[in-house]
Amino acid sequence: MGVPAARIVFDQSDRAAVAEAVTEMLTTGALTLGPWTERFEQAFAAEHGASHAVAVSSGTAALEVILRSIDVRGRDVVVPAVTFYATAGAVVHAGGRPVFADVDPATLALSSETLEAALTPDTAAVVLVHIGGLIGPQVDAVRALCDRRGVPLVEDAAHAHGSTFDGRAAGTFGLAGAFSFYPTKVTTSGEGGMILTESPELRDEARVHRDQGKGSFTTNHHVKPGYAWRMSEPHAAIGAVHLRRLKEFIETRRAVARRYDAALAGLDGLDPVLEPPGCRGNYYKYVALLPSGVDRAEFKRAVAEEHGVRLSGEVYDLPLHLQPVLAPYRRGPLPVAEDVCARQVCLPVHSDMTEDETQQVIDAVSAVYRRLAGAKGARSCG
């Protein structure tokens, strides 16, 4: 049997709970901004120790709503070069200018040093991304630098449901955090996003932005240039049901990651992005870096075709400053981002992954890596 790159896990009891909720809402006709949205918001906030949560249509919308609430129009927003397009896309759509920063190779995230190099006199916000669900120890230094400069810190926590650092949850280190519930995430609502914040003012702004800029759900008075960024009730019900499994899913993923850590320690040159001290990640992704000279495409092909193991999409194979659509904002090379994006692979981690599947991945990666790394060594000696 093969091991897929991703697997979405809803057991029979989850499916029954969602079906019951959908029957209820179809009976009542409450299909948007109803009781399930409120339940999901309250449960997600409680899970992360946050005061306020606002459900929206996607993680991208969550980030853009936060940036619009800050009002970054015509100003700079620092984003790491190692992240998904949407991090910068939200800045552009909110009227800001993305400024790309290099990353710490140990965490693939901003550090205070890379952030300081990217700050400008016109910086309106900083976006910190928790790649793969790992929160690095640099988070406090990044927050302190933002505070000294008087710049709000925003977390792109699209990968980081339930992740913590020193007992504090993702989405609670800055002014606000944005989460995604795209189907492959550790918990999903099908499509959707969530904003966490301690600020009642930002919470209220977000509620206005998500509902076409209306001052309240029941009026036709539009006070902001909002969008249709609501989360539907069916999506909220799916999200609320799946959220109940978050702790269980994270435990399963962490057990897989511990076995990968041990196995990769015996493969000289194939270096995992290890969990930093103080971090308790959800392992949305398990990232490892191939040594220079090992062909990533050939590595992935061999693992898939010879062993039936599909390596999930990189995070990410092309840094933001080299994305064609973002070329107008390019300011120069970012060597660490370019290096780690060129060399990274992601080993499969599923929320119901079995010991046999984990071993199949370890055997496949070990066999292919030893062969390709040995061939690379032979060429370098020839």
What domains can you pick out in the chain, each with its CATH number? 12-243 (3.40.640.10), 246-381 (3.90.1150.10)
Provide mean pLDDT across the span 191-209.
98
Residue 126: strand pairing partners: 78, 153
Mean pLDDT of the chain: 96
* CA–CA separation, 77 and 122 (whole Å): 9
- Check pLDDT > 90 for residue 221: no
Taking CA atoms, 229 is separated from 77, 197, 336, 340, in Å, by: 22, 18, 35, 34
* CA–CA separation, 359 and 349 (whole Å): 12
Closest listed residue to residue 372, CA positions, set 294, 305, 300 = 294
Length of the chain: 382
* CA–CA separation, 12 and 239 (whole Å): 16
Of the ranges 5-14, 55-64, 212-221, 323-332, which one carries the lowest mean pLDDT score?
Answer: 212-221
Structure tokens at 334: 């970012």
CB atoms within 10 A of CB 251: 11
Who has greater pLDDT, 18 or 382?
18
Provide mean pLDDT across the span 172-194.
98
Provide mean pLDDT across the span 58-76.
98
- Check pLDDT > 80 for residue 217: no
CB atoms within 10 A of CB 16: 12
* CA–CA separation, 197 and 41 (whole Å): 12
Closest listed residue to residue 6, CA positions, set 184, 133, 239, 259 = 184
Provide mean pLDDT across the span 250-270.
97
Q: What is the DSSP string of 259-327?
A: HHHHHHTTSTT-EE-PPPTTEE---S-EEEEPPTTS-HHHHHHHHHHHH-BPPBPPS-SS-GGG-GGGG
* CA–CA separation, 11 and 54 (whole Å): 27
* CA–CA separation, 256 and 216 (whole Å): 46
Provide mean pLDDT across the span 249-273.
97
Q: Is 74 left (phi over 0), alpha (psi -120 to 50) or beta?
A: left
Provide mean pLDDT across the span 352-357.
98
- Using DSSP bridges, classify how beta strands 123-129 and 286-289 pair: parallel, antiparallel or unpaired: unpaired
Place of tokens 């300081």: 116
CB atoms within 10 A of CB 272: 17
Summarised one tens digit per residue, pLDDT across range 360-371 is: 999 999 999 999
- Using DSSP bridges, classify how beta strands 76-80 and 123-129 pair: parallel, antiparallel or unpaired: parallel
Taking CA atoms, 138 is separated from 46, 83, 128, 173, in Å, by: 25, 17, 10, 11
pLDDT at 381: 45
- Check pLDDT > 80 for residue 303: yes
- Check pLDDT > 70 for residue 206: yes
- Check pLDDT > 50 for residue 13: yes
Place of tokens 């969008």: 227
* CA–CA separation, 72 and 70 (whole Å): 6
pLDDT at 375: 66
Q: Rounded to the nearest 5°, which phi and psi values hold at 61?
A: -60, -40
- Check pLDDT > 60 for residue 126: yes
pLDDT > 90 in the chain, percent: 94
Provide mean pLDDT across the span 124-139.
97
pLDDT at 379: 53
Nearest-10 Cα torsion for 300, 305, 311, 316: 40
pLDDT confidence tier of residue 378, bands split at 50, 70 and 90: very low
- Using DSSP bridges, classify how beta strands 153-156 and 271-272 pair: parallel, antiparallel or unpaired: unpaired
Provide mean pLDDT across the span 336-347.
97
pLDDT confidence tier of residue 376, bands split at 50, 70 and 90: low
- Check pLDDT > 90 for residue 49: yes
